[in-house]
Amino acid sequence: MACRKCALGEGGNLLQALAISGSPEARPMIRDYLDRLWQDKRMFQEEKHINHFAAEATHCIRYLLKLGDASPDLAEKCRALVNHPTPANRDCARNFLGKIAK
């Protein structure tokens, strides 16, 4: 499983390709990656420009929603991301997930 071998914070292109593929395996793979990101202590660290872990989490949630995932924890994660300590991550989450986070 390529997502398991991909370093956290460096899976953006792979995740996007999985989501676009619409493959039945895409949702569980993206969910697994999101769960791994969420457990990483770097997820909510403030960064000077952008926190790549939080940016990837934002996109994972976006992809999961597009793939039909309606897990209740996604809204909670959206709310956490729109309150991220890094301004660029807050903006990213509001742009992509704003409606869900409310």
* Residue-level pLDDT at 75: 92
The pTM of the full predicted model, rounded to 2 decimals, is 0.89
Query: Residue holding tokens 């969910």?
Result: 31
Q: Phi/psi of residue 25, each to 5°?
A: -80, -10
What digits encode the pLDDT tens for the residues 5-28? Answer: 677 877 888 899 999 998 999 999
Q: Give residue 10's pLDDT.
A: 78
Structure tokens at 75: 């809204």
How many C-beta neighbours within 10 Å does residue 59 have? Answer: 20
Kind and range of the H or E element at 35?
helix 26-39
**Per-residue pLDDT tens over the stretch 48-82:** 999 999 999 999 999 999 999 989 999 999 999 99
Q: Percentage helix, strand, coil, to 5, in the chain? A: 70, 0, 30
The single residue listed with the structure tokens 């792979």 is 14
